[in-house]
Structure 1
Amino acid sequence: MDRYRGRVAVVTGASQGVGAAVARQLLRQGLTVVGLARRPDKVKELELKEAPGKLHAIQTDISSEDSILSAFKWIKDNLGGVDVLVNNAAVFPTAPVASGKTEDWKSILDLNVLGLSICTREAVQDMLGRGVDDGFIIHINSDLGHLPPFGTDRAMYGASKHAVRVLLEGLRKDLVARGSKIRVGEISPGAIRTEGLMGVMQEFPEIAKTIPCMEPEDIADAVVYMLSQHPRVQVYDIIMYPTGRPV
């Protein structure tokens, strides 16, 4: 991780859950972390006095292109640019395929697919423009990006995560064609004990008590593992299941 010490990492959806854990872990590793979230006050609470890294919080709506562009301009103007991007922000409302609301489908696709793609484009273009050849783009995907949907309620969410996987491969090939050594990868976890999942599981209180879950810190450790490999190694996808997962 020494190569990234003092350099700039952007983490989307950094106010809670996996994003918050990733931001804190990168601060411990000595990176300058920019947390993008709708609630910047929650990001500021992540500051660790004993950590060598520096934290910045920017209010950003990842479903809004204007908001994303404004955030990346601030980073360029004040910190010089981006070296690592962790695309974590995502939503997963109940949105049945046959009867779901268009606004719910749109919120999933705008954030999970388009917002991720805009952030990726801005980060990659910034790296290429500055001649950064050891940058890293990491998508926090989902095991549902590799599996058929378990039911209709999460099919649109699953479709968005399948899209993330396809977009990652497109990005990898694009960078190879450019002769760039910028690395890309995704982490595809199963159930994680976050506010979002626990909110969904309130619909199934008995299952919520027993379902095996990972912790957000487990995913943050996987991010560090991915970043810490020798530049000749591109850890492309880490699929993570909680121990004891029944299906």
Structure 2
Amino acid sequence: MERWSGKVAIVTGASSGIGKAVAEKLVREGMIVAGLARRKERVEGLAATLKGCKGVLHAIQADITKEEDILRAFKYVIENLGPIHVLINNAGLASVSPLSYGKTDHWKLLMDTNVVGLAVATREALQNMYRNKIDGHIIHVSSMCGNKLTMNPNGFSGATKAAVTTLAESLRVELNAAKNRTKISVSTLQTSSITFFSSALLQVTFTLSSWT
């Protein structure tokens, strides 16, 4: 990952789980990482443990369901850290969301978190990459529940993850660059967004392979 050293990456949902692991990995590899999260103090705690690494982690408070938060965060990154080379859309919400008795407000929250917020962040990153003629990476962290139904009543949650897949494929067409990484669907992990699975689940160590 030497070519990415000193470059700017934005990771949404960086306070825990996959986002935290990715942010840490990128910092250790020398990137300047903006970790976006509602719980800014958690990202600040991670940043403190990474002092002395090749890269640096900046904690930025942002609620991915609020466009004004996303725009403010991107403005700060661009003006203070530099042009964006990598965006990792990791922020997401997973929960029981059956169609037969689910709550409308919760469905809207799932859509705003998993789909609309991701789309806004993608748009802002793309526009900055265009302006700076950067051949960057945009990665959507999705879920297998968007590809295959599970035993859990997560119909609406799964539908939002299927939308992420569609957005990723649409982006491939828009950019006419199928070689670009645009989506990652993960298997079952133990993260704070998954609270209805048994704690006996196999823990999976997330690793980020080197980019070439």
TM-score past 0.5 threshold: yes
- Say if 2:144 is the partner of 1:143: yes
Question: Aligned residue for 1:87?
Answer: 89
Number of positions where the alignment pairs a residue of Structure 1 with one of Structure 2: 210
Q: Name the SS for the 1:208 alignment partner.
A: coil
User: In the TM superposition, what whole-angstrom CA distance separates every residue of 1:72-130 from its partner, at most 9, and x where no partner exists?
Assistant: 11111111221100000001232210111011100100010000010001001100011
Distance (whole Å) between structure 2 residues aligned to residue 214 and residue 154 of structure 1: 21
Give the equivalent residue in structure 2 for 1:132: 134
**2:74 pairs with 1:72:** yes
Distance 1:80 1:170 in 2: 27
Report the alpha carbon displacement of residue 65 of structure 1 after superposing the two structures with TM: 0.7
Counterparts of 1:141 and 1:147 in 2: how far apart (Å)?
12
**What is aligned with 1:49?**
51
TM-score (norm 2): 0.93
Residue 163 (structure 2) pairs with residue 172 (structure 1): no
Q: Secondary structure at the match of 1:138?
A: strand
3-state SS of paired residue (1:20): helix
Partner of 1:234: none
What corresponds to 1:193 in structure 2? 190
Deviation at 1:182, TM superposition (A): 8.5
Alpha-carbon distance change, 159 to 149 in structure 1, aligned in 2, over 3 angstroms: farther
Q: 2:58 and 2:160 mapped to 1: Cα distance?
A: 29
* Matched-pair contact (CA < 8 Å) for 1:136–1:182: no
Mapped partners of 1:35, 1:157: distance in 2:
24
Q: Distance in 1 between matches of 2:29 and 2:79?
A: 24
Q: Give, in angstroms, the shift of residue 51 of structure 1.
A: 1.3
Q: How does 1:229-244 map to 2 (within 5 A)?
A: 229=212
Q: How far apart are the structure 2 equivalents of 1:93 and 1:188? A: 17
- Aligned-residue RMSD, C-alpha: 1.6
Q: Which runs of 4+ in 1 moved over 6 A?
A: none
Distance 1:71 1:182, change over 3 A: farther
The structure with the greater share of residues assigned to helix is: 1
- Aligned residue in 2 for 1:39: 39
Q: State TM-score, norm by structure 1.
A: 0.80
Distance 1:181 1:160, change over 3 A: closer
Q: What is the DSSP-based 3-state SS (H/G/I as helix, E as strand, rest coil) of the residue aligned with 1:14?
A: coil
Question: Residue 214 of structure 1 aligns to which amino acid in structure 2?
Answer: V
SS in 2 for 1:84: strand
Instruction: Give the CA deviation at 1:50.
Output: 3.4
* CA distance in 2 between partners of 1:183 and 1:32 (Å): 21
CA distance in 1, matches of 2:43, 2:199: 27
* Distance in 1 of aligned mates of 2:192 and 2:149: 24
User: 1:154 aligned to 2:154?
Assistant: yes
Alignment of 1:214-225 (within 5 A): 214-215=204-205, 218=206, 221-222=207-208, 224-225=209-210
Identical aligned residues as a percent: 41
Contact 1:76/1:82 (<8 A) preserved: yes
Matches of residues 106-125 of structure 1 in structure 2 within 5 Å? 106-125=108-127
Amino acid at match of 2:115: V
In structure 1, the partner of 2:25 is: 25
Distance 1:191 1:129 in 2: 38
Checking the alignment, whether the CA contact within 8 Å between 1:10 and 1:36 is kept in structure 2 is yes
Q: Distance in 1 between matches of 2:5 and 2:21?
A: 18
Matched-pair contact (CA < 8 Å) for 1:37–1:58: yes
In the alignment, structure 1 residue 213 sits paired with structure 2 residue 210:
no
Mark the structure with the bigger radius of gyration.
1
